[in-house]
């Protein structure tokens, strides 16, 4: 198997997940499957390893997938796409995250396809609910099981002269047209339902905004979550003809059923004003964030994640939702303790009286465990498994950043090619287990001797690359010699493994940017050439590249 990972590593991370995992290598204008997990093998009823995308998928689907891979590679970043549309009849409900990467000249993609049926159902049913309730002529009110106002529709606002934004989060009993007798009557019936689960319509008199007193039939439906009543949805209907009443009841029952299903799927639910002030959260927030309900109500939504979500990101999300569109993505946020967690978030705009977005509804799922797996995979892709130091791929990327900063600040860089002296004898005399520990300690000695802005990478065997940044053009060689001196001193102090003390030496070749090369490959080749000459002259030495070295064109073996 080719690539930066072994099959064992990928199996450890993804062997038991329900998500579909494809690790693929680009070959010409198609992609070859290097690894698929058990979930993929179950779907296709065979192992796809060694086959190409065009051999496995129908032509139109293969072209669609390749197009998504091209987007990820053009962006050089993680790319996510869905293969379904809201309200479509297609059975597919997958969302695929593509991570492009390069390794030893080959291009690879890691595609993680997960089932997002729950999120799709939440979005569809809540949009359906919003459409029906918004256009209903009946006043509708939702209150929590603690009788706190959660939501009201436009008909309720117009009929009784109250604004949704002014009353969400406030006690139901404080509404100006709810007298004590009516409040106690409704409270008694709802509490009775909690005990006996026997719903029956209530008949109440209430004055409209224009002063007219009307008899209403108040029908309520509980919203359940985890077997507990979380809220009540109350529909007020003027008592007119029996036929109209029954017709509207059937319509309302369908609305409530859709909304209950949506809420039952949601792990975390929050509502906040367009200004960002939180008006409602459900009980699941405390378990995930550690915040009490009273602490979060009135808090600005960006405060929770302000340590990890930039102001620009928050404003971008707000701009999308205020335009009337649904925003969906993954966000990193903070618990009350300061610990971070990840949530898959859907934010839905709630329309106000004038059709503008007055509030925002967020439905969130905790995906912290999945993100930890992704972080482990990223670490494995860019680090050496034995020394835990960055690998060649990582230092190549780091060099590009260093180069841009050096050009901006008129500074120089140094590339050090370092080869341990006589490492083979460590394995021969002490065994491979001690040899592995020796290589790890050697890498740590290098790491502890360089500065924070520098990078050391193991590129194989006993060979290491070190990139130094921020060097003064007039003193670059002297500064590099100083850091090399620190590395040699650390190696000379050495370390013990068991009863054996090791004090190894190393030979180093050095090249400088920009005077001796413009690219990473050019600088590494020249540093390697200097190392070769230094090895011939004697071990435990350092040689800076000069043009004279070109007179000795023999490559190092």
Q: What is the pLDDT of residues 418-450, one digit of tens each?
A: 999 988 899 889 999 999 999 999 999 999 999
> For residue 428, what are the domain limits?
383-551
User: Residue 229 and residue 317: Cα distance in Å, rounded?
Assistant: 32
User: Residue 420 and residue 416: Cα distance in Å, rounded?
Assistant: 13
Residue 496 located in a structural domain: yes
Buried b / exposed e along 376-396 (16+ C-beta atoms within 10 A): ebeebbbbbeebebbbbbbbb
Residue 514 located in a structural domain: yes
CA distances from 174 to 181, 280, 353 (A): 13, 17, 22
pLDDT band at 295 (very low <50, low <70, confident <90, very high): confident
Question: What region, left, alpha or beta, does residue 517 occupy, with left being phi > 0 and alpha being psi -120 to 50 degrees?
Answer: left
Percent of the chain with pLDDT strictly greater than 90? 37
The total domain count for the chain is 3
Q: Over the Cα atoms of the chain, what is R_g?
A: 33
Winning range, highest mean pLDDT, from 122-131, 159-168, 254-263: 159-168
Q: What is the pLDDT of residues 87-99, one digit of tens each?
A: 344 455 788 999 9
Task: Name the DSSP letter for residue 72.
Answer: H
> How confident is the model at residue 199, as a pLDDT?
63
> How confident is the model at residue 88, as a pLDDT?
41
99 plus 167 within the same structural domain: no
396 plus 491 within the same structural domain: yes
179 plus 99 within the same structural domain: no
Say whether pTM exceeds 0.85. no
More confident residue, 287 or 140: 140
150 plus 106 within the same structural domain: no
> How confident is the model at residue 281, as a pLDDT?
82
> How confident is the model at residue 197, as a pLDDT?
64
Domain CATH for 418: 3.30.70.270
Q: Is the pLDDT of residue 167 over 80?
A: yes
173 plus 86 within the same structural domain: no
55 plus 159 within the same structural domain: no
User: Residue 511 and residue 543: Cα distance in Å, rounded?
Assistant: 9
Residue 64 located in a structural domain: yes
Residue 165 located in a structural domain: yes
Residue 372 located in a structural domain: no
End position of a domain, from candidates 83, 114, 145: 114
Residue 419 located in a structural domain: yes
Residue 91 located in a structural domain: yes
Residue 14 located in a structural domain: yes
Of 56, 81, 59, 70, the residue nearest 26 (C-alpha): 70
Let me know the angle formed at the C-alpha of 146 by 250 and 124, rounded to the nearest 5 degrees. 45
User: Residue 271 and residue 281: Cα distance in Å, rounded?
Assistant: 7
**Looking at 239-292, which runs of residues are DSSP E strands?**
268-273, 278-281
> How confident is the model at residue 434, as a pLDDT?
93
161 plus 38 within the same structural domain: no
Chain-centre distance for alpha carbon 464? 32
Mean pLDDT of the chain: 84
Domain CATH for 157: 3.30.450.20
């Amino acid at each position: 198997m080719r690539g930066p990972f072994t099959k064992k590593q990928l199996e450890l991370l993804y062997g038991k997940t329900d998500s579909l995992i494809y690790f693929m290598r680009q070959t010409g204008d198609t992609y070859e499957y290097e690894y698929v997990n058990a979930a993929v093998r179950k779907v296709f009823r065979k192992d796809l390893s060694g086959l190409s995308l065009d051999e496995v998928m129908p032509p139109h689907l293969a072209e669609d997938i390749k197009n998504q891979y091209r987007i990820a590679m053009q962006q050089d970043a993680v790319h996510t796409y869905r293969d379904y549309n809201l309200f479509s009849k297609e059975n597919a409900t997958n969302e695929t995250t593509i991570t492009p990467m390069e390794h030893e000249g080959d291009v690879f993609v890691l595609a993680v396809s997960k089932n997002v049926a729950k999120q799709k159902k939440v979005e569809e049913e809540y949009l359906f609910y919003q459409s029906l309730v918004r256009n209903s002529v009946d006043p509708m009110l939702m209150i929590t099981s603690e009788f706190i106002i959660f939501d009201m529709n436009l008909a309720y606002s117009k009929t009784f002269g109250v604004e949704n934004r002014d009353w969400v989060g406030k006690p139901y009993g404080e509404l100006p047209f709810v007298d004590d007798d009516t409040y106690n009557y409704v409270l008694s019936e709802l509490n009775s339902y909690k005990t006996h689960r026997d719903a029956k319509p209530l008949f109440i008199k209430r004055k409209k905004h224009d002063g007219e007193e009307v008899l209403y039939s108040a029908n309520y439906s509980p919203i359940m979550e985890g077997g507990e009543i979380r809220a009540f949805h109350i529909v007020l209907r003027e008592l007119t003809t029996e036929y109209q009443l029954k017709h509207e009841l059937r319509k309302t029952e369908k609305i409530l059923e859709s909304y209950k299903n949506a809420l039952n799927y949601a792990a975390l639910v929050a509502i906040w004003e367009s200004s960002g002030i939180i008006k409602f959260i459900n009980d699941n927030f405390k378990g995930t964030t550690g915040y009490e309900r009273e602490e979060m109500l009135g808090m600005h939504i960006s405060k929770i994640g302000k340590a990890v979500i930039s102001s620009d990101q928050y404003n971008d999300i707000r701009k999308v939702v205020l335009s009337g569109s649904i925003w969906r993505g993954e966000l990193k946020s903070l618990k009350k303790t300061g610990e971070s967690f990840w949530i898959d978030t859907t934010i839905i705009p709630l329309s106000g009286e004038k059709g503008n977005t007055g509030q925002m509804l967020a439905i969130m799922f905790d995906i912290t465990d999945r993100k930890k797996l992704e972080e482990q995979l990223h670490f494995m892709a860019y680090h050496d498994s034995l020394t835990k130091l960055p690998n060649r791929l990582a230092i190549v990327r780091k060099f590009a950043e260093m180069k841009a900063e050096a050009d901006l600040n008129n500074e120089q860089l140094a590339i050090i090619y370092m080869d341990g002296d006589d490492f083979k004898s460590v394995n021969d005399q002490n065994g491979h287990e001690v040899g592995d520990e020796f290589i790890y300690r050697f890498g740590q000695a290098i790491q502890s001797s360089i500065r924070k802005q520098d990078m050391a990478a193991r590129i194989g065997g006993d060979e290491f690359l070190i990139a130094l940044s921020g060097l003064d053009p007039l003193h670059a060689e002297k500064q590099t010699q100083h850091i090399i001196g620190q590395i040699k001193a650390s190696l000379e102090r050495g370390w013990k493994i068991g009863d054996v003390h090791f004090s190894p030496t190393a030979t180093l070749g050095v090249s400088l940017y920009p005077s001796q090369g413009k690219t990473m490959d050019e600088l590494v080749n020249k540093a390697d050439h200097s190392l070769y000459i230094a090895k011939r002259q004697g071990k435990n030495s350092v040689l800076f590249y000069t043009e004279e070295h070109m007179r000795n064109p023999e490559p190092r073996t």
